[in-house]
Amino acid sequence: MQLCIFNPEHDLCLASGRALYIPPRSAVDFARRDAHLMQALYPEAHCCSVYDLNLSTLHSPLSSLTVWGWNAVVKHELQKRGVPSELLPTDDAIATIRRLQHRSTILPLQPDCHAIYNIVEMEALLRERDHWVLKAPWSGAGRGLRWVHGSLSEIDRNWIAKVVKNQRCVIAEPNRMWDGDWNGASPHPVVDLALEYMDGIFSGYSYFKTGSGVYKENVMWTDERIEAAFPAMRKVRGRIGPWLDEHIWPHYRGPLGVDLMVCADGSLHVAELNLRHTMGMVAHEKLRVMS
């Protein structure tokens, strides 16, 4: 039997770096309630949250295992529940995933983003541009983000110091939703897209909506419709694919998504790298079955 574990708390667990980290109750409840989402990707599998797994209830011996995303927490929970060690990744493999997931990994694809290591560096960036989004290198679900406008507050300074101490640096990204003076500006609409891959092979595109950095829903557009609406996608894919071949796939095999942001002026920017399954993959597979 194939077992699929839905652990949308993955990003939070990966950020903690600890096998004994306890994710928030809301994340665990989400995993338990919506484990059926994995069924779209693995229709023949038994899908559940790791916290609901009971091997004794399975109808046949466990032959393969897939998770939403690998981290030390989910491995520890699976071990506690008796999953054979041969079905689990090594600690070194999980450490590699965490290293690659650090936001500094994709800085070569983000020429206008910066890794900052102290307050002085951030203040220098603010002299060049007023509006920035600061991101903790390991974060997810809309957490680990701060919006800075014009100057640093004491809270901003303390947050930067804490993240640098715990995660080596802070990633500073231009806030593309604003320009001009903060008080007189209007938000620019943006579009969130993604390139989806599995085991080094491109699977397709996805189009999704977010709010304050939090995923909301996918827009059910086909690859053809996305390419027609956003012609730059082919060019960006042609640039990102070789970079993944050189820097990611030699060290990792599995699901991977590259999030992109299209601004109102048509410019397209790399936003994030996710070494895990994504809701875009679920939506893409549902579209494939429907068509």
The pLDDT tens digits of the residues spanning 124-160 come to 999 999 999 999 999 865 678 999 999 999 999 999 9
Tell whether 184 is covered by a domain: no
Distance, in Å, from the CA atom of 150 to the CA atom of 24, rounded to the nearest integer, reads 33
Nearest one of 16, 270, 281 to 136, comparing CA atoms? 16
Residues 43 and 59 in one domain: yes
- The last residue of a domain, from among 139, 174, 209: 174
User: Is 13 found in the same domain as 71?
Assistant: yes
For residue 183, is it within any domain?
no
Cα dihedral 111, 167, 275, 100 in deg (nearest 10): 70
Q: Strand pairing of 201-211 and 268-274? A: unpaired
- For the record, the structure tokens of 84 come out as 């054979």
Q: Are residues 23 and 92 in the same domain?
A: yes
Q: Residue 214: pLDDT above 90?
A: no
**CATH number for position 125:** 3.30.1490
Q: What percent of the chain clears pLDDT 90, i.e. is strictly above it? A: 82
Task: Please report which confidence band the pLDDT of residue 264 belongs to, taking 50, 70 and 90 as the band edges.
Answer: confident
What value does the mean pLDDT take over residues 61-75?
A: 96
Name the domain boundary from 66, 101, 136. 101
Q: Is 179 domain-assigned?
A: no
What is the CATH number for 277? 3.30.470.20
- Domain membership of residue 268 (yes or no) is yes
Q: Do 220 and 234 belong together in one domain?
A: yes
**Residue bearing tokens 């699929």:** 4
Confidence of residue 60 (pLDDT cuts 50, 70, 90): confident
Average pLDDT of the segment spanning 30-35 = 96
Same domain, 68 and 157: no
In a domain, 285, yes or no: yes
Structure tokens given for 77: 């929970």
Query: Does the model's pTM come out above 0.75?
Result: yes
pLDDT digits (tens, 9 = 90+) for 97-116: 999 999 999 999 999 999 99
What residue type is 241 in one-letter code?
G
CA dihedral over 170, 200, 236, 276, signed as positive or negative:
negative
Q: 171: buried, middle or exposed (CB in 10 Å: 19+, 13-18, 0-12)?
A: buried
CA angle (158, 129, 171) in 5-degree steps = 45
Q: What is the pLDDT of residue 188?
A: 58
Specify the higher pLDDT residue, 59 or 280: 280
- pLDDT confidence bin for 181, thresholds 50/70/90: very low
Is 181 within the bounds of a domain?
A: no
Residue 184 clears pLDDT 60, i.e. is over it: no
Q: What is the mean pLDDT of the chain?
A: 91
How large is the average pLDDT for residues 250-274? Answer: 92
Specify the 3-state DSSP secondary structure of 107.
helix
Q: Which residue has the tokens 């595109």?
A: 205
Q: What's the domain count of the chain? A: 3
Average pLDDT of the residues in 202-225: 89
Q: What is the pLDDT of residue 6?
A: 97
> 127 in a domain, yes or no?
yes
Q: Helix, strand, coil: what percent of the chain each, to 5?
A: 40, 25, 35
Domain boundary among 76, 101, 126: 101
Indicate whether 159 and 203 sit together in one domain: no
Return d(Cα 245, Cα 242) in angstroms, integer: 5
Which has more pLDDT, 264 or 54? 54
Q: Let me know if residue 186 belongs to a domain.
A: no
* Structural domain range at position 22: 2-101
119-137 residues labelled b (16+ CB within 10 A) or e (exposed):
eebbeebbeeebbbbbbbb
Do 140 and 198 belong together in one domain? Answer: no
Using pLDDT thresholds of 50, 70 and 90, give the confidence band for residue 273.
Answer: very high
Please say if the pLDDT value at position 193 is more than 60: yes
Number of separate helices (H) and strands (E) present in the chain:
9, 12
Six token digits for residue 179: 């320009």
Q: Same structural domain for residues 53 and 124?
A: no
Same domain, 217 and 244: yes
Query: Does one domain contain both 6 and 92?
Result: yes
